[in-house]
Amino acid sequence: MSFTVVAELTFLCFVVSLVATGGVLWWLKHRQILDEPNHRSSHTNPTPRGGGLALVPILAVAWAGLAALGLAPLSTLPVIAVAVALAMLCWRDDRGGLPVLQRFGAQFVAILFGLLFVRGAGHVFQGLLPPVLDYAATALIWLWFVNLFNFMDGIDGITGGQTAAIGFGAALVAFVSSDPNSGALPLGLALGAAALGFLAWNWAPAKLFMGDVGSIPLGYLIGWLMLSMAGDGHWAPALILPLYYLVDATITLLRRAVRFERIWHAHREHFYQRAVQSGLGHGAVVLRILAADLLLVGLAVLGLDWPWIATILAIVVVGTLLWELGRRDAVTSEA
């Protein structure tokens, strides 16, 4: 692998994402495609929504280019095609709304097709399940991940920052493990660079939001990358890198399910949202999450050799972050 070529493509991905997101912002403003605040929102001013219109195509072209150059597996191409199709569907949802069953149905079909291209599919759970159950569990986890990535995109900078951390983290894991065949190193670098270009516009106070057109396809692509990493035997890094999103979303949605609430409806009950409601600014919350993400990236690398130790430490890191975010909500309630 030519590291010079990869470095140049990574930088190009960042620059193009930065410029294209600015162009999309201008177009969204011109067309008055705005996210109007309501009682469930964490923002107070009408803000353009649809930054994924820049991020997803740029990432798709970057990943396709890496596959064409032989720097990533050709199996990346059909996964990209499905992600672009999801983006088109989600843009319709952003603009007018689609029935819940139609959204979930499209995602489920996308995942069933995508399973054909997950490296090590049938062994994602490291042989703990028979292949048929492994496929079924992988599909359900992927479906959940796609949706939690959408649910968690609720404050300025959070998903852009999380995407960058996961992308660069996956690249570092691939570099340390000396695994050139997976393509995770250049794919992760492109993912992280594109996310940084978007994040420059989405950092608090955000000039535009990602929208479902960005968060759903990103969840799909990142889910594929993490599941392929697990299929290659690196299950601990695949679990650790997105662990904060996994834990916050799962705990919050389980709480809502226990109360028989419609978990697919918008709300402000995630730990990061409660921290914002308690008075902590968007940027301050995201910086805390990014600090935890840096620790998780280090633990993901540790997980290559000591998977269980790294996973336990990662749970401690995420638990501490949730306590830090949640305690502010508790203090505000007591006051």
Annotated binding site for Mg(2+): 150, 212
CB 243 within 8 A of CB 314: yes
Backbone angles phi, psi at 149, to 5 degrees: -65, -35
Write down the residue that tokens 């396809």 correspond to: 217
For residue 65 the two structure tokens come to 């280019």
Strand stretches in 179-261, DSSP E: none
Give just the sign of the alpha carbon dihedral 185, 191, 196, 199. Answer: negative
Q: Which amino acids are annotated as binding site, given as ranges? A: 150, 212
Q: How far is CA 16 from CA 181, 194, 217, in A?
A: 26, 8, 19
CB 1 within 8 A of CB 180: yes
In a 10 Å sphere around its CB, with 0-12 CB exposed, 13-18 middle and 19+ buried, how is residue 282 labelled? Answer: buried
How far does Cα 141 stand from its chain's mean position? 14
DSSP code at position 271: H
Q: Are the CB atoms for 290 and 165 separated by under 8 Å?
A: yes
Q: CA–CA separation, 136 vs 118, rounded Å? A: 13
Residue 223 CB: number of other CB atoms within 10 A? 25
